[in-house]
Amino acid sequence: MSKIPVYGISRGEPREIILPKAKLARSAISWGKFSLPILLLAWFFVWGGPAKAADVVITADTVWSKGEVRVIDGDEGLAVMPGAKLTIEAGVIIKLAPNNAIMVMGELDIQGSAVEPVIITSLKDDSAGGDTNGDGNSAAPAPGDWHGIFANSPDARIEIDYARISYGGGYFDNESALLAINQAAELNLSHSQIVNNKGLIAINQALVAKINYSNIFNPDFCLDQDPFGMEIPLTYCGGPTVFYNGATALDASNNYWGHEAGPTLFEQMSGQSDIKGTAISGNINYQPFLTSPWLAEPAPAEPEPVILIPGILGSWNISGRWQIDPIFHTYDNLMEALIAAGYRESSLGQDQPTLFTFPYDWRADNNITAGLLKEKIRQVKEITGADKVDLVAHSMGGLVARSYIQGDGYQDDVDQVIFLGTPHLGAVESYLKYEGAYFQSNFVPLQKYLFQVEAATQGYLDLTDYIRVQVPTVEQLLPIYDYLKDKQPDDSWQLRPYPLNYPQNNYLEQLNSQANTALLNQRVDITNIVSDLGADSTLNYLKVIADPDTTDNQWQSGYPEDLDNNLID
E-assigned strands of 241-364? Answer: 241-245, 250-251, 263-265, 277-281, 284-285, 306-309, 315-318, 321-324, 355-357
pLDDT, tens only, 282-341: 999 999 999 999 998 776 677 889 999 999 989 988 888 999 988 788 899 999 999 888
The dihedrals phi and psi of 36, each to the nearest 5 degrees, come to -60, -50
In this structure, the chain runs to a length of: 569
pLDDT reported for residue 20: 27
Count other C-beta atoms under 10 Å from residue 494's C-beta: 11
Residues 437-463 have a mean pLDDT of 80
pLDDT at 526 over 50: yes
pLDDT at 279 over 70: yes
> Which of the 8 DSSP states describes residue 206?
-
CB 392 within 8 Å of CB 343: no
Structure confidence at residue 349 as a pLDDT band (50, 70, 90): low
Q: Which pLDDT does position 90 carry in this prediction?
A: 96
How far is Cα 43 from Cα 410, in angstroms, rounded to an integer? Answer: 69
Q: Strand 542-545: give its sheet, edge to edge.
A: 493-495, 484-487, 542-545, 559-560
Segment 137-153 mean pLDDT: 93
CB 100 within 8 A of CB 78: yes
Checking if the pLDDT of 53 tops 80, the result is no
Largest CA distance in the chain: 122
Q: What's the 3-state SS for 339-361?
A: HHCCCCEHHHCCCCCCEEECCCC
- The DSSP code for 502 is S
Whole-angstrom distance, CA of residue 265 vs CA of residue 278: 9
Please answer whether residues 50 and 81 qualify as being in contact, where contact means their C-beta atoms are separated by less than 8 angstroms. no
Sheet holding 250-251, edge to edge: 62-64, 85-89, 107-111, 157-161, 186-190, 208-212, 250-251, 284-285
> How high is the pLDDT of residue 104?
96
Question: What pLDDT was estimated at residue 137?
Answer: 84
DSSP conformation letters of 115-166: SS-EEEEETT-TTTTS-TT--TTS----TTSS--EEE-STT-EEEEESEEEE
Asked whether residue 26 carries a pLDDT value surpassing 50, the answer given is no
pLDDT on residue 566: 53
- Assign 536 a pLDDT band (cuts: 50, 70, 90): very low
CB of 499 within 8 A of CB of 478?
no
- Which pLDDT score, from 0 to 100, does residue 173 have? 86
Residue 4: per-residue pLDDT:
27
Q: Is the pLDDT of residue 199 over 90?
A: yes
pLDDT on residue 22: 28
Instruction: In whole angstroms, give the CA distance from residue 404 to residue 290.
Output: 51
Task: Classify residue 21 as exposed, middle or buried by CB count within 10 Å of its CB (0-12, 13-18, 19+).
Answer: exposed
Residue 551 CA, distance from chain mean position: 64
Q: What is the pLDDT of residues 78-134, one digit of tens each?
A: 999 999 999 999 999 999 999 999 999 999 999 999 999 999 999 999 999 999 888
- Could you give the percent of the chain with pLDDT greater than 70? 86
What is the distance between the alpha carbons of residues 256 and 374, in angstroms, rounded to a whole number? 50
The pLDDT, as a whole number, for residue 532 is 57
How does the average pLDDT of the chain come out, rounded?
86
Give the pLDDT score at 29: 33
Angle, CA 227 vertex, CA 226 and CA 229 arms, to 5°: 90
Ranking 19-28, 139-148, 386-395 by mean pLDDT, the lowest is 19-28
DSSP secondary structure of 14-81: PEEEEETT--B-SSSB---TT-HHHHHHHHHHHHTS--PPPSEEE-S-EEEPTT-EEEE-SSS-EEE-
Check residue 539 and give left, alpha or beta (phi > 0: left; psi -120 to 50: alpha).
beta
At 299 the pLDDT is 62
Distance of CA 446 to the CA centre of its chain: 43
At 8 the pLDDT is: 30
Percent over 90 (pLDDT), the chain: 66
pLDDT of the residue at 327 = 79
Q: Is the dihedral of CA 25, 270, 171, 65 positive or negative?
A: positive
What pLDDT shows up at residue 206?
84
User: Which of 203-207, 473-477, 530-534 shows the lowest per-residue confidence on average (mean pLDDT)?
Assistant: 530-534
> Taking CA 542 as the corner, what is the angle to CA 536 and CA 544, rounded to the nearest 5 degrees?
150
CA distance 374 to 177: 60
Run of H or E residues at 234: strand 233-236
Question: What's the pLDDT at 499?
Answer: 95
Residue type at 112 in one-letter notation: G
User: Stretch 47-53: mean pLDDT, rounded?
Assistant: 39
- 28 band by pLDDT with thresholds 50, 70 and 90: very low
Pairwise CA distance, residues 494 & 496, whole Å: 6
Is the pLDDT assigned to residue 280 strictly greater than 80?
yes
